[in-house]
Amino acid sequence: MGLIKALVDASHRFAEDDRFQKLSVGYDYRPVNWIFELGKGPQEEKTWLTIRGKYKNEYIYSVPIRADRSGSVSKNNIKPYLFVDNKEYAIGLKNDSIVFDAFKDLHNQALSLIKEHRKDWLKCIPEDDIEGTINDLESIVAFLDLSREKRLELITNALSDKNDGPKEEKRKRREIESKDVIAFSVASSCFPFDRQTAQIIWYKILEQYYTSGLGKCAICEEYQDKPITRIFPFKLRLFGERCSLLSVNTEENKSFISLGKSQLGNSPICFDCASQADRTLKFLIHIDENDENKFIGRHAVILSRDNSKGKQPLRNQIAIFWTKKPVEVESDEGEQVLLEDLVKKPFESFEKLPEREAPVAAAQCRKLLHAPFSGGRDAPTLPDNRFYLAVLSPNKSRLVVREWLEMDVRPVKENIKRYIDAVQIIHPEGLGVWWPPVGGMLEALRSYTSVVRKSEEGPRIAALGPDVMRKLVRCMYQGALPPDALLVRALQCFRVPDPSIKDNSSGMQQFRRQLLRRMSMAAAMKLVLTHGNEEESKAMEQLVTDFDKSSSYKEGAAYNCGRLLAVLEAIQQRASSSGRGVNTTLVDRFYGAASTAPATVFANLISMATKAHLPKLRREGKELFRLRSQYELLHIGDLMADICRIIDNAGGFPPPLHPKEQAVFALGFYHQRAELKPQKK
């Protein structure tokens, strides 16, 4: 019940949010295909009808629904919606349609409830809203009371009228199909289901359907008895699946029996708490429509999405997060940033990169992580505030909670900072220190190499298991250790050389993806190696830092063997006769052996460089290199000798390296390569 109680409590925090208010109880977003607009006609014709449609996804509204309606319609499975429904319910063109009769009875019931309870349930609602809902219902009931022949005539005439609306709605009419959603409207400024009165009446109707008796609620624990739900009455749409938050079904298909009690007998939930939990969850999982990749929202991030042909819902994962009370962080410019916005930073994509520096967003995020929580009304209550995070996956019939974190707010920012310090690394071209987003890092570990077209990249390898993502989530927010599987997979991918690219725009895009992939692999290895060690995290960001003296990795043989391989590669490329490098470098041929057993290959590589490549560079005057961290030119032979001296002091070229030492070797190679890259003009 921890997640459900947290969702119910969160409903009070979000009560003033406009989008939360639009998600009324028993409502959900649906695309409306047809709009039946009713109005008053001549005296001999009580109702006239205008039909607008057919629409596909142009109009998506939050409309009344019943979550327990599924399967084909039968005598025992008739569950109409209010104001909105499909053809079989809303039109009733069949003779003796009990489904249509149920739809009509529902609207008569709603009309009676408003007139009966306008002085108690509805006493706080504006009078014009109540009267507007009554007028809407009376018009709809008048249409539904027409004979079948009269309704058919009105609908046929309305469908044949092609000039019934604005220019963009003058389209070729099509027949109304059985699954098309029809929304009733009366000539007014809003739909009937948008009115406050309609929302309260639908709530009361659902409460009557889904509750049985009074009792103490396990969530709100109020003193007085409240209507207790007999089944959990709401479902949400997630990755195309309709799933319930709780695994509680009908009496015929019981989910569980415990201690002699079935369904919600052990932990009763009142209808109000059930509805608020559902409403809050729908609010939290909302994805920003303006997001280019449709994967991130204010309180949600899609962690993984299954795009395979054989659809497996449990491979889809979404993380939702929020705080009990709003918490802000103050930037250097005095801007107040909500903690929820900061929580998403490790997932945000930096694909639109500037050409000469790190993304501005990365630098801003680092500043915010070092900034204190801002003052204000929430500062005194910060120790009592809570941070919540859930990782969810849809199943065919219910929601699967894969991860649930509930913790104090204060450590969250520090844990995110620790994660970003451990994962950020120099760009392969030297474009500053920043970090790849989580999605990009895991995607890079699914491909050994790249091709010209991104959609055809391969060969692909199996993705890391879903537990890796969940462990990363715990690493970011709870401070847990990152999964070792990241390091093992990154080592496998890092050994495979990148293919040559063409000198055109497609080739440059491919080269850009190669750089980001290399950066992601190196970041994954650095995360596993340095998480929790602040000085080591800073030292391993790039080749030269202020923390090098405290780094045990940089003084070791494995790291400097990696540096030496990058230097030998640069010597070979500059000594090539074409001046454009070579198609197959010594790295392409010897990286695997050099990174696993350095003592077996480096003697030959150094001999090749000193006897063949360095004399040629000396003759052509190319032996001077410019490093990114130095203004003065450096003789490449001196750099190679300095690295060899460090290796000798560390005990010489080491025997076969274990995986973590191989990762240190890879980072040394990666850092030295970035240091040797020429500055962009």
Report which secondary-structure segment, H or E, holds 383.
none
What does the alpha-carbon distance between residue 319 and residue 585 come to, in Å, rounded to a whole number?
43
**657: amino acid identity, one letter:** L
624: β partners: 635
Q: Contact at 8 Å (CB) between 179 and 192?
A: no
Chain mean pLDDT for the chain: 82
Q: How confident is the model at residue 627 (pLDDT cuts 50, 70, 90)?
A: confident
Q: Is 681 a residue whose pLDDT tops 60?
A: no
Q: Are strands 181-186 and 34-40 parallel, antiparallel or unpaired?
A: parallel
- Asked if 315 contacts 304 with a C-beta cutoff of 8 angstroms, the reply is yes
More confident residue, 51 or 294: 51
pTM: 0.81
Six-digit token string for 561:
């063997």
Q: What pLDDT, on a 0 to 100 scale, did the predictor assign at position 267?
A: 73
Q: Does 7 score more than 60 pLDDT?
A: yes
Q: Is 383 left (phi over 0), alpha (psi -120 to 50) or beta?
A: alpha
Q: Quick check: helix, strand or coil at residue 382? A: helix
Q: What is the pLDDT of residues 142-175, one digit of tens each?
A: 999 988 888 888 888 888 865 444 444 444 446 8
3 state SS for 206-234: HHHHHEEEEECCCCCCCCCCEEEECCCCC
CB 55: neighbour CB atoms within 10 A? 17
Q: In 490-617, at which residue ranges do the beta strands (DSSP E only) sit?
A: none
- In tens, the pLDDT along 240-296 reads 888 877 754 444 445 544 444 454 556 788 889 989 998 899 999 988 766 666 788
- Check pLDDT > 60 for residue 376: no
Q: Edge-to-edge, what's the strand order for the sheet holding 34-40?
A: 47-53, 34-40, 181-186, 84-86
Largest CA distance in the chain: 107
Among all chains, which residue has been given the structure tokens 């204190």?
372
386-407: average pLDDT? 87
Q: What is the pLDDT of residues 581-594, one digit of tens each?
A: 566 778 888 999 99
Contacts of 91 (CB under 8 A, 6+ apart): 100, 151, 155, 176, 182
Of the CA atoms within 13 Å of residue 364, those in its CB half-sphere come to: 16
The C-alpha atoms of residue 474 and residue 354 are separated, in whole angstroms, by 31
What is the rounded CA–CA span in Å between residue 201 and residue 410? Answer: 42
**Interatomic CA distance for residues 422 and 455, integer angstroms:** 31
Alpha helices in 576-609 (DSSP H): 586-596, 602-608
- Give the Cα separation of 656 and 138 in Å (integer): 84
Quick: pLDDT tens for 307-320.
665 567 677 888 99
State percent of the chain over pLDDT 70: 82
Whole-angstrom Cα distance, residue 218 to residue 241? 28
Q: Are 266 and 259 in contact (CB under 8 A)?
A: yes
In this prediction, residue 252 carries a pLDDT of 46
Q: Name every residue whose Cβ is closer than 8 Å to that of residue 517 and which is 6 or more positions away in sequence.
A: 444, 447, 450, 493
State the Cα–Cα distance between residues 537 and 315, nearest whole angstrom.
32
Token reading at 255: 């989910």
| Greatest mean pLDDT among 370-384, 514-528, 667-681 | 514-528
List of residues 6+ apart from 296 with CB closer than 8 A: 287, 288, 302, 344, 347, 348
Q: Which residues does residue 512 pair with via DSSP β-bridges, in sequence order?
A: none
More reliable by pLDDT, 21 or 641: 641
Cα distance between residue 74 and residue 78, in whole Å: 6
Decide: helix, strand or coil at residue 493.
helix
Domain ranges of the chain: 27-205, 290-541, 547-681
User: Which pLDDT value is given to residue 164?
Assistant: 45
Instruction: Round to whole Å and give the CA distance between 94 and 87.
Output: 11
- Stretch 493-498: mean pLDDT: 84
* Predicted local distance difference test score (pLDDT) of residue 169: 46
Token output for 264: 């919600």
β-strand pairing of 27-31 with 241-244: unpaired
Residue 26 pLDDT > 80: yes
Residues 6 or more apart whose Cβ sits within 8 Å of residue 37: 49, 50, 51, 52, 185, 186, 187
Looking at residue 215, its pLDDT comes to 84
* pLDDT (0 to 100) of residue 162: 53
Exposed, middle or buried: residue 678 (CB in 10 Å: 0-12, 13-18, 19+)? exposed
How many alpha carbons lie under 13 Å from residue 208 in its C-beta half-sphere? 9
- The better pLDDT of the pair 638, 331 is held by 638
Give the residue with greater pLDDT, 667 vs 287: 667
Lowest mean per-residue pLDDT among 90-99, 166-175, 395-404, 548-557: 166-175
Q: What confidence tens digit (pLDDT) does each residue in 535-576 have?
A: 999 999 999 999 999 999 999 999 999 999 999 988 888 887
At 169-225, the pLDDT tens digits run: 444 446 888 889 999 998 766 899 999 999 999 999 999 888 888 888 888 876 678
Task: Give the mean pLDDT of 656-675.
Answer: 94
Q: Is 7 in contact with 404 (CB distance < 8 Å)?
A: no
* Residue 108, pLDDT score: 94
Q: Which letter, b or e, does each residue of 194-211 get, where b requires 16 or more Cβ atoms within 10 Å of its Cβ?
A: bbbbbbbbbbbbbbeebb
How big is the chain by its Cα radius of gyration, in Å?
32
Rounded distance between C-alpha atoms, residue 412 and residue 324, angstroms = 13
